[in-house]
Each structure stands twice: as structure tokens, then as C-alpha cells.
Amino acid sequence: MIVLGIETSCDETSVSIVEKKKNSSFGNVLAEQTLSQIKKHKKFGGVVPELASREHSNNLDWLVKKSLKLCNLQYDKMDAFAATTGPGLLGALLVGSNYAKALAIGSRKPFLSINHLQGHILVSRMKKKIDFPFLCLLVSGGHCQIILAKNFNKFKVIGETLDDAVGEVFDKTSRILGYGYPGGPIIENLAKKSKGKYKFKLPKPLINKMTFDLSFSGLKTSVRRLIEKGINNNQKADLAFEFQQIITECLIKKVELSINHLKKKYNINNFILSGGVASNFFLRSKFKKMCKKKKISFFAPDKNLCVDNATMIAWAGLEILANGKKGNRIHFPPKPRWRIDKL
């Protein structure tokens, strides 16, 4: 089976053609083309929705054609066309999903509507055997959720942020520090320069509360106050380190709590870290250690599959097909808000 996937929920225009052989559980990427709009949005300090839609609209067609050319396939060789239909920016979602729907109608093949978060979660299964149920921490620019994946189409949110998403906090903090967008990689690199000389005693919101939920807005405000008082470059590096460490600590605490809670009912042997923030090496290494302690296996996708990409959308489409769900979702409208537990 071959699925052409399209991802346009935010600021990446991505097309991917993924194949799953009949007797294999894994996927093989035949072609992937991703065009990042980061440079276009950088000067605005964040993603401008209208600009994102225009860029998708300008680039999607040639990216699809280039992808097909790269693997020497025609539209009629696709078994289905999949696109992100939410959550995300409405205009951006409309561009990608309508394009994929048109391809599906023209080729008389099913259109598969994919939840962006489902893509982030399932892509780990493309190259590694990870049985359901498993626990996943999804941390991206728009989301921070601890999710129990019961099967390819059934997810339960165990805990989530009550305010900002983790990536959003990295992005905003980078901006307050006077650096650019996206903030995650900038702060991660800045933290590497830390000499550990200055301590800021940043708050650890909800850390000692018996809740699976998280909160980051207080942390962001504390960083803002410190910077407004004025700090030098050495202090900035130490602040970035402490900030990254505290976020990691809060996330680990709640994931550990979730594992302990779920173990009574489910056989959780696998933990997955996914979403754009999962490309943070510090976070990955700390979670790996935690999983070792808990005797469960740890997995995080390669960096290019952590950030937004269409391979995860095509792969989610293949999982749907493999489970015999070919239901054509051509009339399914894009949903800017679409929870993973309401598929």
C-alpha cells in the first residue's frame, strides 16, 4: 500500500509518499519534501496565519509533483491520499486538505483525514515494533499532553497543560531573551553555554500536586521579570539551562505519576516522546534515564520526524488502511480544534 500524505497545519509545507509492504509492520519513505516557512515568519517573532496559508498555496503543487517524480510514481499508484485536517490554523489546513481531496476525487481513491497529533504519536511505529497500549508525551508548539494510546484510533488524555504548550513557552522565552524563532533549538544551544554560576530559583508549577496536569505560564512570567530587571549574556545562558531543566523536571514528574497510575490497569511497556520539543537532546536523555529506572522501553523518533512532517500523516493513513478502515472522509471539514480523544 502506498499513501501520499500532506501536512500544512502550521508553518511547514510537507508532502510524503510512504509505502507499507503487505507482510511488513513497517513503513518505507519513498519521497519526502518539506519546505519550512521559518525564515518568512521569523521577522514577526511567530507564525502569521495568513502568510502561512499563502505560502502553502504557493508551494504545495510543485512539492507534490516533485515528490512523485523523485520516486517515479504516478497518482494512480497511490492507494489513498491523506492530509492533516486538524488541529491547526484554519486557512493552512484548508489549503492542504482541499488539495488532497481534489487528488483523491481525480484518482478515484479514498481521502483520509488525519489528526495531526495522531500523526505525531503513530509515526514511532513506522520503524519500530511498539505494541498498544503505550504511553506518549506529546510536546510541540501547540500541545503538551500525556496520552495513552489504546490503538491506532483510540487515545485517552491522561494529563495536559492548563495554559501554555511547552514549545510555546520555549518560543516566548526566546523572544523575551531577545533571540529569534523557533525558540526551542535557540534555548537548547544557549543552555549548552551555561557555566552553572547563577541560580534563579525559577518556580516549578504544580510539581507537588497530585495531578497529571501541567502549567507553564508562571514559569514564563518569572523569566520575563528576571529579564526585565536586566541580565548579562552569562546569566542568560544559566537562565536558559535552569529553564530547560525545570521544564524537563515538571514533565518527568507528571509522566512518572501517569505511569504509576496506569500500571494498575494497563500493561505499559513502552513510552514515546514525540512532537517538535522531543527533538531536544537534554529532554530525550532525561526521559531515557527515567524509563530505564521504571524498566520500560523508551523511544523518540528521529529529529526530522519529531518536528512537523508529512511522513507522519502518510503513515497514520497507512495504519488506518491496514486496519481495514477505508471510509472516505471527503466531506470531513478541517477542524482548527480537534482533540485526540475526540477522533
User: Binding residues for ligand KG4, per CB under 6 A?
Assistant: 10, 140-142, 167, 170-171, 182-185, 188, 275-277, 279-280, 307-308
Choosing among Zn ion, ligand KG4, none, which partner's interface includes residue 167 (Cβ < 5 to 8 Å by kind)?
Answer: ligand KG4
The CB-of-110 to ligand KG4 minimum distance in angstroms stands at 25
SS (H, E, C) 270-303: EEEEECHHHHCHHHHHHHHHHHHHHCCEEECCCH
Choosing among ligand KG4, Zn ion, none, which partner's interface includes residue 183 (Cβ < 5 to 8 Å by kind)?
Answer: ligand KG4
The CB-of-52 to ligand KG4 minimum distance in angstroms stands at 12
Choosing among Zn ion, ligand KG4, none, which partner's interface includes residue 114 (Cβ < 5 to 8 Å by kind)?
Answer: none
Residues with Cβ < 8 Å from 97, sequence gap 6 or more? 6, 8, 83, 84, 85, 113, 334
- Please say whether the dihedral angle defined by the alpha carbons of residues 316, 278, 89 and 218, taken in this order, is positive or negative: positive
The CB-of-21 to ligand KG4 minimum distance in angstroms stands at 28
Question: Which of residues 10 and 92 has its CB atom nearest to ligand KG4 in the complex?
Answer: 10
Laid out side by side, the sheet with 111-115 consists of 27-36, 12-20, 2-7, 80-86, 111-115
The CB-of-276 to ligand KG4 minimum distance in angstroms stands at 2
Torsion of CA 192, 196, 197, 202, to 10 degrees: 100
Question: Which of residues 68 and 340 has its CB atom nearest to ligand KG4 in the complex?
Answer: 340
Question: Which of residues 95 and 321 has its CB atom nearest to ligand KG4 in the complex?
Answer: 95
Catalog residues that contact Zn ion under the rule CB under 5 A. 140, 308
Choosing among ligand KG4, Zn ion, none, which partner's interface includes residue 19 (Cβ < 5 to 8 Å by kind)?
Answer: none
Choosing among ligand KG4, Zn ion, none, which partner's interface includes residue 14 (Cβ < 5 to 8 Å by kind)?
Answer: none
Closest CA to 212 of 253, 248, 244: 253
The CB-of-176 to Zn ion minimum distance in angstroms stands at 23
The CB-of-276 to Zn ion minimum distance in angstroms stands at 6
For residues 316 and 120, give the distance between their C-alpha atoms in angstroms, rounded to a whole number: 9
The DSSP secondary-structure symbol of 45 reads T
Rounded to 10 deg, the angle between the 281-294 and 183-192 helix axes is 80
Residue type at 118 in one-letter notation: Q
Choosing among Zn ion, ligand KG4, none, which partner's interface includes residue 277 (Cβ < 5 to 8 Å by kind)?
Answer: ligand KG4
Within 10 angstroms of residue 162's Cβ, the number of other Cβ atoms is 14
